[in-house]
Amino acid sequence: MKVYKTGVIALGMGDSWAKAAHTLDNTKLTMVYDLNFEMNRRIDKEFYKNSGAIIAKCEDEIYKAGLDIIIVASPDHFHAEQSIKALKSGAHVVCEKPLAPTVADCKRIIKAVKQSGKFFMTGQVCRYAPGFVLAKRLVDDGRIGEIAFMESEYVHDYTHATGIDNWRKDPKIKREGIIGGGCHAMDLVRWMVGNPREVCCYSNNKLMADCAWPTADTGIIIGKFPNNVIGKIFISVGAKRPYTMRTVIYGTKGTIICDNTSDHIRIFEQKNIKETGSSFATIPVNIASHNVTEELKEFVSYLDKNKQSPTDVYEGTRTVAFGEAALRSAKAGQPVKVEKI
């Protein structure tokens, strides 16, 4: 069994990736790097000092370490440069979502992937949350018939989640929450019903106005999808409620309600109406909203087969293209076409 020497850049989002690499049998956590390792109190320093991994003093050490896999888990605006450097170092690369803040940056990563000949995964974690995985399987099995309409949401109050050095609200960075957080819901809908052809988006900045948030904190996206499916996505990084990604899938023969933080999903099947009346059936699932262990396990399983995993660089780019189209629509005040990737 090949054991893949693995390095992780940034230990905020990267903490769970690093611990997954330390835990799995066929990966070895070899090196980690975080610019704020000593200063950031949230980093589990005892774990890293006892893990056997080298704690790099500078980022370049990661690229010179001869690693098999490099995981880029830094803030969004670093993804393109770090992913490209990691690919040039000869490593296979996993990059957290969103792949990059813009399609232009994503295309730079695509070019680097092609030139390197290495495998690449975009960390679209919703595809690995047990509730969503089960919902996808039920849809694929035809349990609710043909999908007509799907709605999802990403609601996460960033008031106290501004990131290290407040990067999420930095007016110079101008991180777009519709892409930065909303990529979760957009990718989930794409995974279920395909790539949007046209979107219309309205947005505002009322919920975080007191925090001087530099971009829209709330948006609603309506999209046209293949097979005459329509979809709606609500995104808010300021709504005053607990984190949620509640998702409803309406089919010709039933409906599924699911999310990534509940211990169950609900399904209504028309064929069972005599037995259940108008009630939903409940199916228990494990809660694993950020199931990166399964992500890394899948990536490595594809490396073992010398094949590309499904959530490749193009999938990451298509989700960013969805979000970029939404931003264009909100600015123009009219529907826009989504760039084909």
Clarify whether residues 143 and 94 are in a common domain. no
| pLDDT recorded at residue 276 | 72
Rounded to 10°, the helix 313-332/103-116 angle is 170
Residues 6+ apart with CB under 8 A from 116: 87, 88, 90
Clarify whether residues 144 and 237 are in a common domain. yes
Clarify whether residues 117 and 204 are in a common domain. no
Clarify whether residues 167 and 94 are in a common domain. no
| pLDDT recorded at residue 245 | 96
Q: Is residue 315 part of a domain?
A: no
- Token match 């594809």: residue? 302
Clarify whether residues 132 and 117 are in a common domain. no
Would you list the DSSP string of 44-62?
-HHHHHHSS-EE-SSTHHH
Any idea what the CATH number is for the domain that residue 215 is in? 3.30.360.10
What range defines the domain where residue 37 resides? 4-124+292-310
Any idea what the CATH number is for the domain that residue 19 is in? 3.40.50.720
> Which residues does the chain have with pLDDT short of 50?
none
Clarify whether residues 297 and 185 are in a common domain. no
| pLDDT recorded at residue 272 | 85
| pLDDT recorded at residue 120 | 98
**φ and ψ at 89, to 5 degrees?**
-75, -10
Query: How do strand 120-123 and strand 254-258 relate by DSSP bridges?
Result: unpaired
From residue 341, alpha-carbon distances to 96, 111, 285, 308 in Å are 19, 13, 34, 17
Amino acid at 293: T
Asked if 303 and 289 count as a contact pair (C-beta separation under 8 A), the reply is no
Clarify whether residues 141 and 230 are in a common domain. yes
| pLDDT recorded at residue 87 | 98
State pTM to two decimals: 0.96
Q: Is residue 136 part of a domain?
A: yes
Residues 6+ apart with CB under 8 A from 173: 75, 77, 167
Clarify whether residues 269 and 187 are in a common domain. yes
Clarify whether residues 22 and 52 are in a common domain. yes
> Burial letters for 195-234: b for 16+ Cβ neighbours within 10 Å, e otherwise?
bbeebbbebebebbeebebbbbbbbbbbbbbeeebbbbbb
